[in-house]
Chain A
């Protein structure tokens, strides 16, 4: 594959990571804790869509190689993730009388409950959406870009969702309230914003985006109960790179981390070509920069960001 091909793959994977990291960052800044159940919220979206798609079928026509039924399933997946997140907030998080660290630990428990229930219901094996795999788009193959119509659909939907979120944050009343709350929750409350309601809307939006990311991840790879938890590390890396609490930082961070993740094979060919001295260093780099360690590279970037610039690209003070 050429550089262009890797970049195209990176764009697709980035869209998924961006959807996940925006939600995580929103919840982080407004509900004020690191939600470790975010990855499993993605899994919920994916499996809800799987069940819906299995039930309603194709519904006639198709856009971009995806039947109408799939788009319906996508909406159901988004809704399911949002409903589950709101129910969790109402039943579990809201009655808790603990600090943000306690909430963080609780969210790990929630993550396990989500995953265990999915695993009990669907088993731990991989599954796929019942959609025929597409051939790469012919006109792009000469450039070494092997993307399918499905990939185009993923990127397009992600762009629509991200632009929608941008409009919501900048130009609507709810968006202004959310930004006010992220800035200073006490001040927001004093000025008459119903913070509880805004928090619920934050959960709806954050978990909804996560659900969409989960559905697309299932379309891009496969579905498995661990899919969300496995992606959590990458999403956290994106959020920290972007700066905790900044939605636009999360978009940038998600984009970069997703790109780097998919460009790993390209980097390994670069390392092989470079004359690195001494020899053992070259060998070590060659074995470490490989597809198996794509997630580990995200981790290394995260640690480096924490060392050099803990508040990330666009975040507030971290200490």
Chain B
């Protein structure tokens, strides 16, 4: 990484992509706002998209905790996501082939426990080996999960999927009736195109608040964890596992912790998705979900939580943009187009910017070390950086 050899250049270089990302995000927001105000984009659908972006960001946080922190290649993001989605759907839905009808919090707990068990099951044989074994085995795991969901009709309802899922706040004191209790509003900002805000809008708003809570909480936890001594060990393992072992760290145990943490976050994303979409089917376990998360993480910058957040938004743009393109301009089937875009983005990032758009640099340093002008606390800063760059920071 150039940050180690040339901190001045790295900072100058750092601000440019950050500026770009900021500029593009602001422009995109303004575009969406304009579409909202003119009524071209329904406010309920807009909030659904925001929820979806939050969901993908959460998924990317999970993958980032594995790949970005520790360098674990997990190609079964879709499987853990599916465990979360199906776990909560089967526990809460009225149309569930088993149990069903429980409080969504029970579904959340069940989903997380099952995801934990599965993560241990796949981690035990592969985490002792070279990184590519986990990649191969996890790709297989995702396929097996998909087969099970498709074939075990008594458990998952097979290809028909699970319907009749309640919102996440069902059974809560105030929030369960909040959407119905709110008045229907009629706004007319641009004359001639009124915007209606009804129960479905308030429901979507609740979902967005929920995903903000999930993603915000996860973000804070991950940021704290990444800077902590625990996170430093993970970063050491990522760059040189033998070194970490030579320093007396039980790398297998650390890798397992990171893998489990990431898998739980992915399952959390699945739980949210269930209550956002109110339907889950085997199509949600398609490998493409895994690679949406991968694109988000490597595009944003491996190890960077901000980057994962940005990547989540990009993914929703790819997903919904191809659908929009198909409806409006080009009659190309959106499915292969998405696949093509994902492939091109992966190859382009690896070719031209393997560290991603927002690589984690200042994120990893305690703010006090930067503001106070003290020596950087990160162990991966070399002597040269401390001598050359200490005064600038």
Chain A residues in contact with chain B, CB under 8 A? 33-34, 36, 92, 95-98, 100-102, 104-106, 108-117, 119-120, 123-124, 225, 229, 232-233, 236-237, 240, 287, 292-293, 295-296, 298-299, 302-303, 306-307, 310, 318-319
A residues in contact with B287, CB < 8 Å:
229
> Shortest CB–CB separation between residue B117 and chain A, in angstroms?
15
State whether A95 and B151 are in contact (beta carbons under 8 Å apart), knowing that A105-B298, A120-B340, A302-B140 are contacts in the complex: no
**Residue from A92, A100, A115, A232 in contact with B139 in the complex, judged by beta carbons closer than 8 Å:** A232
B residues in contact with A295, CB < 8 Å:
143-144, 147
B343 touches A102 (CB 8 A): no
B154 closest partner in A (C-beta): A287
Q: What is the 8 Å Cβ interface bit string for chain B, positions 336-352, against chain A (1 contact, 0 not)?
A: 11011011111100110
B294 touches A101 (CB 8 A): no
> Shortest CB–CB separation between residue A246 and chain B, in angstroms?
15
A residues in contact with B124, CB < 8 Å:
307
**Residue from A101, A109, A232 in contact with B73 in the complex, judged by beta carbons closer than 8 Å:** A101
- Since A116-B337, A302-B137 are in contact, a sample of 7 more A-B pairs with Cβ atoms closer than 8 Å, ordered by chain A residue number, is A101-B132, A109-B350, A124-B333, A233-B139, A296-B147, A318-B130, A319-B128
A303 closest partner in B (C-beta): B125
A120 touches B332 (CB 8 A): yes
A-B interface, 8 closest residue pairs, ranked by CB to CB distance from nearest = A109-B346, A112-B343, A116-B340, A113-B343, A119-B336, A116-B339, A299-B140, A109-B347
A120 touches B139 (CB 8 A): no
In the complex, how many residues of chain B place their beta carbon closer than 8 angstroms to a beta carbon of chain A? 46
The complex places the Cα of A237 from the Cα of B136 at a distance, in Å, of 9
The complex places the Cα of A141 from the Cα of B250 at a distance, in Å, of 60
Give residues of chain B (278-321) contacting chain A, Cβ–Cβ below 8 Å.
287, 291, 294, 298
The complex places the Cα of A83 from the Cα of B100 at a distance, in Å, of 54
Q: What is the 8 Å Cβ interface bit string for chain B, positions 129-155, against chain A (1 contact, 0 not)?
A: 111110111011101100110111000
> Shortest CB–CB separation between residue A47 and chain B, in angstroms?
14
B390 at the A interface (CB under 8 A): no
B347 touches A110 (CB 8 A): yes
**Residue from B73, B129, B148, B298 in contact with A104 in the complex, judged by beta carbons closer than 8 Å:** B73
> Shortest CB–CB separation between residue B243 and chain A, in angstroms?
16
B350 touches A105 (CB 8 A): yes
B residues in contact with A100, CB < 8 Å:
132
A residues in contact with B132, CB < 8 Å:
33-34, 100-101, 104
